[in-house]
């Protein structure tokens, strides 16, 4: 292989999530999720809109598969709506056969189109009934519910699936939903956002229970469904933290930032416990694993599922966090910035302030994860919004050269590492289509497909054609 080619069996394609694309929240017996109810509150999203439409993919999924096939993709990551399978979510609650039938038909259709399915069991859309019942992942009872749900899905769909993802970004779900309050269920110590919550305690409880739910589901898969011959793993968001400068305090700040953000919930599934540095930082707010829990967690991911978008400079915070600045308090005296000490920006400004193209940071995080864990890496999300894209009409939005440059830089960086021997198995771009982007509503557009916000009509952007040709060249098609 030359330095910029990819293996013939490399998986590439696009990612989506049920709460962001499906819409039809109560169709065919589905129960409501926390994102259905949270986004309907009106003031929780930038545009005041809910996820009840998404991209209307529950009704237009055949069109989406046809588009993905035309884009040349050989893999599609999507998530299963827990409340479509078990409307009330619990281990003793009724199962919804229509939900199982929908996903089985969807997966079969992907396979018929030559597209490998990569389902995620939980991509943040917890059944609202479980949040009401015992505050969702704040209660360890939910581990048994998730295990039951996973067993049903493996039993009903597992014969069609070779790669499973258990939980998407538990670090983000825990922090944004239970510290900052920007995501469902919206809990925070900030009483302007939530009537209840403890920002500096709850994220660690939620993260702990998410990990145990993941490990329990993997145990079921390995012990009861090994004949299906698949692989299974956790997805963690890991944006790289580069020291602001090479002073000892800022080198330490970068390590601290990356440990809090990324290693927090990555180390336990690969090493069996939280990082020692995290224990020092968080202290007694961090739950402890019992010996049998450590044994269950260690090695519970067959690979490292990586979502990555950008890189920051990290430095020591020079001013104390305010009493209601729980985000800053969560990072324990570390700030991130996109401007270096020389005044130069780490990468060009994109359509959201938190994501900038920094391909060298992608290369650093991939190398770091391989050296730390020695596991195959599946890149399960990577993408960007073009500058000004939030306000663009279709004719302008489809000319997305900024996104093309982003993909070219990131894929080339990844390909270089693969050719150095780092076992990276997939590249799944976020996202297949402009969709409901959580707290941004429909204003943040990551897709390679423009979606009309009124009709749902799809129009390929230039990036879709670029990736088809680019990846064909990389894989020698």
* Catalytic residue list: 169, 381
- Which residue, 411, 399, 386, 408, is CA-closest to 461? 399
Q: How does DSSP classify residue 58? A: H
CA-to-CA separations, 96 to 17, 41, 141, 277, in angstroms, rounded? 20, 27, 22, 44
DSSP calls for 109-163: HHHHTT-EEEEEEESS--BHHHHHHH-GGGSTTHHHHHHHHHHHHHHHHGGG-SE
Beta strand 231-237 pairing with 116-122: unpaired
Distance CA 267, CA 393 (A): 43
Distance CA 279, CA 302 (A): 25
CA-to-CA separations, 45 to 16, 40, 54, 372, 434, in angstroms, rounded? 19, 9, 13, 37, 16
Distance CA 418, CA 408 (A): 15
CA-to-CA separations, 397 to 100, 250, 446, in angstroms, rounded? 36, 39, 11
Bridge partners (DSSP) of residue 47 are none
């Amino acid at each position: 292989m030359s330095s910029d080619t990819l293996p013939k069996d490399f998986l590439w394609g696009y990612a989506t999530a049920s709460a962001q694309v499906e819409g039809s929240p109560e169709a065919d017996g589905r129960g409501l999720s926390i994102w259905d109810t949270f986004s309907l509150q009106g003031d929780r999203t930038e545009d005041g809109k809910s996820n009840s439409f998404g991209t209307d993919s529950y009704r237009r999924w055949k069109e989406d598969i046809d588009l993905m096939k035309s884009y040349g993709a050989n893999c599609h990551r999507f998530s299963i709506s827990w409340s479509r399978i078990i409307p009330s979510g619990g281990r003793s609650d009724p199962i919804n056969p229509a939900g199982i039938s929908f996903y089985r038909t969807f997966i079969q259709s992907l396979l018929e189109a030559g597209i490998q399915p990569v389902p995620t069991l939980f991509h943040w859309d917890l059944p609202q009934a479980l949040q009401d019942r015992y505050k969702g992942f704040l209660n360890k009872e939910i581990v048994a519910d998730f295990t039951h749900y996973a067993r049903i899905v493996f039993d009903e769909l597992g014969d069609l699936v070779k790669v499973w993802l258990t939980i998407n970004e538990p670090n983000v779900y825990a922090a944004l939903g239970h510290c900052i309050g920007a995501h469902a269920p919206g809990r925070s110590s900030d009483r302007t956002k939530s009537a209840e919550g403890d920002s500096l305690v709850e994220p660690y409880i939620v993260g702990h229970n998410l990990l145990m739910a993941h490990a329990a589901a993997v145990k079921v898969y390995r012990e009861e469904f090994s004949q299906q011959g698949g692989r299974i793993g956790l997805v963690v968001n890991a944006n790289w933290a580069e020291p602001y400068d090479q002073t000892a305090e800022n080198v330490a700040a970068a390590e601290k930032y990356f440990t809090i953000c990324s290693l927090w919930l990555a180390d336990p599934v690969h090493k069996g416990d939280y990082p020692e540095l995290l224990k020092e930082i968080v202290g007694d707010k961090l739950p402890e694993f019992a010996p049998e829990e450590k044994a269950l967690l260690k090695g519970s991911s067959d690979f490292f599922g990586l979502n990555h978008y950008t890189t920051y400079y990290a430095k020591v915070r020079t001013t104390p966090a305010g009493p209601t600045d729980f985000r800053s308090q969560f990072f324990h005296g570390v700030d991130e910035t996109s401007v270096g000490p020389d005044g130069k920006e780490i990468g060009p400004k994109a359509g959201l302030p938190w994501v900038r193209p920094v391909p060298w940071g992608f290369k650093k995080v991939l190398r770091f994860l391989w050296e730390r864990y020695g596991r195959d890496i599946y890149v399960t999300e990577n993408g960007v919004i073009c500058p000004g894209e939030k306000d663009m009409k279709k004719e302008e939005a489809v000319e997305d050269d900024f996104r093309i440059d982003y993909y070219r830089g990131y894929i080339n960086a990844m390909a270089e590492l693969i050719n150095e021997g780092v076992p990276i198995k997939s590249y799944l771009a976020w996202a297949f289509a402009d969709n409901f982007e959580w707290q941004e509503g429909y204003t943040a557009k990551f897709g390679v497909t423009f979606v009309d916000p009124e009709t749902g009509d799809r129009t390929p952007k230039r990036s879709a054609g670029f990736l088809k040709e680019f990846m064909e060249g990389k894989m020698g098609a």
